Structure 1
């Protein structure tokens, strides 16, 4: 007797990926049709992505500092061999 789990999951995965590819291609095709204010939109995307990168770097720095403080308070050995 064949196990039904791989058949169901592979079929579901193929269906979900096919639907996702269809909508991705459709979205890119629709975006290519509208070329209004392309430069303005590019600047807005660049500005938003730089803000996200800045927030990510600051949160990474804050996490490192908090980790260092907690490790120092607990008394763990942080020396490299």
Structure 2
């Protein structure tokens, strides 16, 4: 039963990563067709900014979650 969350999380992360890849690719190709190199750079810049913001939000969420857990007296050690 311990492997179920691992498999589900791995599946969810892979599906979201594939979906994000195709979304960025679609916007990139659309910008390439319509407006040229400047629009492509804008799409890539925006994609990078969104990725960085997402990673920072995940880190903040993890820190808040572990902080709240410790404040409530939960044992959150990995050992």
Instruction: Report TM bin, short chain.
Output: 0.5 to 0.7
Higher relative contact order (CA 8 A, sep 6+): 2
Q: Give unpaired runs (5+ residues) of structure 2.
A: 1-25
Determine the structure 2 residue equivalent to 1:72.
70
Deviations 1:2-28 (A, max 9, x none): xxxxxxxxxxxxxxxxxxxxxxxxxx9
Q: Give unpaired runs (5+ residues) of structure 1.
A: 1-27
Please report the RMSD computed on the Cα atoms of aligned residues, expressed in angstroms: 2.5
How many Å apart are 1:36 and its aligned residue? 5.2
TM-score (norm 2): 0.54
How many Å apart are 1:38 and its aligned residue? 1.1
Q: Which runs of structure 1 show a deviation greater than 3 angstroms over 4 or more consecutive aligned residues?
A: 34-37
The one of 46, 49, 63 aligned to 1:51: 49
Query: When the two structures are aligned, how many residues end up with a matched partner?
Result: 51
Look up the SS of the partner of 1:57 in the other structure. helix
When Rg is computed on C-alpha atoms for both structures, the one with the higher figure is 1
Look up the SS of the partner of 2:74 in the other structure. coil
